[in-house]
């Protein structure tokens, strides 16, 4: 399958994004972010937003020193949206390149997982806020999260992988 690519402008900076569906992270470094497409037992996807943002997203964050992808995702999901998950699988990586600055190239991992338990919500230690969380039908996720062509590919691949399990 061809990798989906697009250029975006974020905070005044142009970035070139490439979605790469893969279950092996051996060739992708550095990894700066880990995000989870979290499904409930009915096939809905958990989306979230901070009280500081009107934009919905999937939860995730930055790996801490020596953390695995799974450890990062589990920690971030507890901190941000207060959920426990199981069956974590790597979906792929989003390669992020800054034109004319190859030393700034990095990778963001996307995983799928199943929500094991929704916990009472608590304050996120990173920003002292409580995240709003919402379960939406998988086929409607791109109505809430507008990540362009690469985002559409990520969610299509996540839904396909989830339904094939």
- Residue 105: pLDDT above 50? yes
**CB-CB contact of 99 with 9 (8 Å):** no
Strands 31-39 and 13-21: unpaired
Task: Please give the share of the chain, as a percent, with pLDDT higher than 70.
Answer: 98
CA distance 122 to 36: 19
**For position 1, what pLDDT does the model report?**
47
Task: Output 1 or 93, whichever has higher pLDDT.
Answer: 93
pLDDT for residue 2: 67
Tell me, what's the pLDDT at 52? 76
**Model pLDDT, residue 152:** 96
Entry pTM: 0.94
In this prediction, residue 32 carries a pLDDT of: 97
Residue of 128 and 51 predicted with greater confidence: 128
Residue 83, phi then psi, degrees to nearest 5: -130, 150
Q: Structural domains in the chain?
A: 4-164 (3.90.79.10)
């Amino acid at each position: 399958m061809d990798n989906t690519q697009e250029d975006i402008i974020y905070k005044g900076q142009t970035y070139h994004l490439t979605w790469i569906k893969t279950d092996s992270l051996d060739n992708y470094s550095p990894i700066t972010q880990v995000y989870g497409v979290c499904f409930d037992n009915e096939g809905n996807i958990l989306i979230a937003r901070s009280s500081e943002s009107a934009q919905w997203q999937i939860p995730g964050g930055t790996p801490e020193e020596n953390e695995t992808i799974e450890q990062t995702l589990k920690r971030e999901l507890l901190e941000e949206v207060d959920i426990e998950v199981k069956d974590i699988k790597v979906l792929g990586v989003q390669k992020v390149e800054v034109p004319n600055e190859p030393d700034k190239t990095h990778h963001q991992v996307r995983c799928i997982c199943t929500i094991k338990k929704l916990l009472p919500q608590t304050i996120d230690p990173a920003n002292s806020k409580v995240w709003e969380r919402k379960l939406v039908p998988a086929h409607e996720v791109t109505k809430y999260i507008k990540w362009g062509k690469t985002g559409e590919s990520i969610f299509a691949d996540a839904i396909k992988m989830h339904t094939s399990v």
